[in-house]
Amino acid sequence: MRSKLLHPDIVNDVCQELAALLTRHTKGKGNGAHPTAINQLDFARSDLSGAIPSIYEPRLCIVVQGKKAALLSEETYQYGMAQYLVVSVDLPINAYVIEATPDKPYLALKLSLDLVQLCDVIAQAGMGTHKKENSVRGLFVSDANVPLLDCAIRLARLLNTPQDIPFLAPMIIRETYYRLLTGEQGEAIRQIATSGSNMQRIAEVIKMIKADFTQPMRVEDLAEQASMSPSSFHRHFKEVTSMSPLQYQKQLRLLAARHLMLAENFDAVDAAYQVGYESPSQFSREYARMFGAPPVKDIGRLRTT
């Protein structure tokens, strides 16, 4: 059931205005993410389909035109106009545009989530959480209501008056956080910013894995860092990321190896060793399983598209 605060006519008008603003600031710049004069805000534009695997850091993404899908392990999340995606922990995601044309490209606002600012908003608003024992998925999709879209359009309009950005942008971003926290997924967002919650402890371990993913790791050591038993840690980790710690590390390694081959001209064997693989044949098998083709074929295909 869609939120009662959606008001379809208002939502449609707001999305059309946002699409016009994003078009003005991204036209002629090509596909991809485009930074703005507001530090935490990017605009995304694409008129092409195609998968783009990458590590998504905590962010809010509001779609104003077109449709996109995000693959997290074996789960697929689709989101289109007037819907938003929130990623609350670092996650390896395979994202692709599924609805866009040159005349009507996919357009979205991406706002990075600052967890310190988020904690501050929670404290100032007197919000708490009553479910510290539970973990929730670190990615979700919801419908954007009018108050949230209003924040988005006021933030985007600031680009027309850059002299107002230093003073007004921080206030609108804080309001955006408040709207997320009071929305239908507020509990999921509060979990990541709640000191001592299982979600936050898993997030801290994710940062450790990401910082040193080339090294062998023991789940027992990670569980100790999270102050959990190995079985409890494994369960909570999978609830947050939809994969095991070892699967998470593997995806980080394969994404890093792909970048080394594509951007720095490493060959497959050197890339495999660089990211922590001891067996080039195992690397090639797991790479083909993740990207749909062996390393040489996959990189050759990327360079010709």
Q: What distance in Å separates the CA atoms of residue 114 and residue 234, rounded to the nearest whole number? A: 26
163 and 16 within one domain:
yes
Whether 140 and 273 map to the same domain: the answer is no
Whether residue 273 lies inside any domain: the answer is yes
Could you tell me if 254 and 184 lie in one domain? no
* Residue 269 is assigned to a structural domain of this protein: yes
- Do the domain assignments include residue 213? no
- Of 108, 99, 113, whose CA–CA distance to 56 is shortest? 113
Q: Which of 133, 130, 266, 285 is nearest to 199 (CA)?
A: 133
Give the number of other Cβ atoms within 10 Å of residue 280's Cβ. 16
* Same-domain check for residues 176 and 269: no
Instruction: State whether 42 and 160 are in the same domain.
Output: yes
**Sequence letter at residue 67:** K
The pTM score is 0.89
Q: What is the pLDDT of residue 70?
A: 94
Query: 149, 169, 192: which is the final residue of a domain?
Result: 192
Residue 128 sits in the same domain as residue 60: yes
Give the sign of the dihedral formed by CA 73, CA 75, CA 76, CA 82: negative
Residue 45 near residue 106 (C-beta atoms within 8 A):
yes
Residue carrying the six token digits 């703005």 = 36
Is 145 found in the same domain as 19?
yes
Judge whether 132 lies within some domain.
yes
Q: What are the structure tokens assigned to 272, written together?
A: 């495999």
Q: How far is it, in rounded angstroms, from Cα 169 to Cα 41? A: 10
pLDDT < 50 positions in the chain: 1-4, 131
The CA-based dihedral angle spanning residues 215, 219, 223, 229, taken in that order and rounded to the nearest 10 degrees = -170
Which pLDDT does position 127 carry in this prediction? 80
User: What's the CATH number where 256 sits?
Assistant: 1.10.10.60
Q: Say yes or no: 106 and 175 in one domain.
A: yes
Q: At what angle do helices 146-157 and 8-26 cross, to 10 degrees?
A: 30
Range of the domain at 279: 247-303
Residue 224 lies in a domain: no
Q: What is the CATH number of the domain that holds 71?
A: 2.60.120.10
Are 154 and 266 in a shared domain? no
User: Kind of pairing, strands 75-80 and 139-143?
Assistant: unpaired
| 124 & 267 share domain | no
Number of residues that this document lists for the chain: 305
- 108 SS3 class: strand
pLDDT score for 133: 55
The total of structural domains in the chain comes to 2
Orientation angle between helical segments 245-263 and 295-303, nearest 10 degrees: 50
What is the rounded CA–CA span in Å between residue 298 and residue 291? 7
Same domain? For 157 and 30 the reply is yes
Residue 110 lies in a domain: yes
Q: Find out whether 151 and 24 touch, Cβ atoms under 8 Å.
A: no
Instruction: Tell me: do 72 and 180 sit in the same domain.
Output: yes
Burial of 151-169, coded b for 16+ CB within 10 Å and e otherwise, reads bbbebbebbeeeeebeebb
